[in-house]
Amino acid sequence: MGVLEEKLNFFAENAGMNLNEDMLRSFRAYYELLEERNKVMNLTAISGEADVAVLHFADSLALLGIADLRGKSVIDIGSGAGFPGIPLKIACPDMDLTLLDAQRKRVDFMTEAAKAVGAEVEAIHGRAEEYGADPGYRERYDFAVSRAVAGLNILAELCLPFVKVGGAMLAMKSTDSDEEIAEARNAIKKHGCTVEKIDDYPLFGTEITRRCVIIRKESPTPKAYPRRFAKIQKEPL
Ligand code: SAM
């Protein structure tokens, strides 16, 4: 067993999760591919078994302690090299996962990574604010998840149109995001949503405390949102 598996097992035991042999093999395959492709394209600044295991894989998996994603439809907005979506799919295989990113090369990588771990996912190339207005994607998902994509006032408009009424957005943030959350309240309300919970939790294996902002959709998002990106950025709600 390598450092990657040790770190993942340590995290899983502390988080009360079970990662079986198949899952550990999938994480190993994902790690090897990530390291290899990262040499020739800009996927992530994090490398090495210990850091990837904790800061990418375990950090992504922590969402399973926040929400039960089994049998649920989930879209990961701005997934990049596949975080948090692909680790969630490895550990929760019966989740229905869509990965979305604006960069073609990253979408190609995610497609390759999903194949390498034997996961069936839909990986789409495009901008969240365009797909969020598309009737084939709008209000279709139980959960929208996102990490390290934008400030919450902008992220709300990128993610919330995808969430069905009764569903939720899980925004992965750091614990110094109080002001960011306060500034996003208006955008969240305008999308028919409310902040249900701000959940702070330890990232086992580190000294880091992470945060997930759970935003529940209570009524449909008005057709006016999402706006064009220039507008979202220039005039956040
Ligand atoms: N979520 C990944 C993670 O935590 O490692 C990637 C984070 S990376 C810093 C941000 C990603 O969001 C980039 O891959 C970028 O292409 C994507 N992105 C930013 N704005 C987007 C938008 N409006 N629609 C789709 N993808 C977007």
Residues in Cβ contact with 55 at an 8 Å cutoff, skipping those fewer than 6 apart: 46, 206
Residue 204 has pLDDT above 90, yes or no: yes
Q: Which domain holds residue 219?
A: 68-234
* 174 in any annotated domain: yes
Residue 10 has pLDDT above 90, yes or no: yes
Residue 131 has a pLDDT of: 98
Return the CATH number at 176. 3.40.50.150
* 34 in any annotated domain: no
Task: Read off the amino acid at residue 142.
Answer: D
What lines the ligand 1 site, CB under 6 Å?
Answer: 78-81, 83, 100-103, 106, 127-129, 147-149, 158
CA neighbor of 139 nearest in space, from 117, 167, 158: 167
Q: pLDDT tens digit string along 50-76? A: 999 999 999 999 999 999 999 999 999
SS3 6: helix
User: Counting atoms of ligand 1 from 1, which one is nearest the CA of 149?
Assistant: 10
Into how many domains does the chain fold? 1
Residue 41 has a pLDDT of: 94
Distance from Cα 129 to the centre of ligand 1, integer Å: 12
Task: Name the pLDDT band for 125 (thresholds 50, 70, 90).
Answer: very high
Residue 214 has a pLDDT of: 98
Neighbours of 213 (CB within 10 A): 23
Distance from Cα 130 to the centre of ligand 1, integer Å: 14
* 106 in any annotated domain: yes
* 28 in any annotated domain: no
Residue 1 has pLDDT above 90, yes or no: no
* 39 in any annotated domain: no
* 22 in any annotated domain: no
* 146 in any annotated domain: yes
* 45 in any annotated domain: no
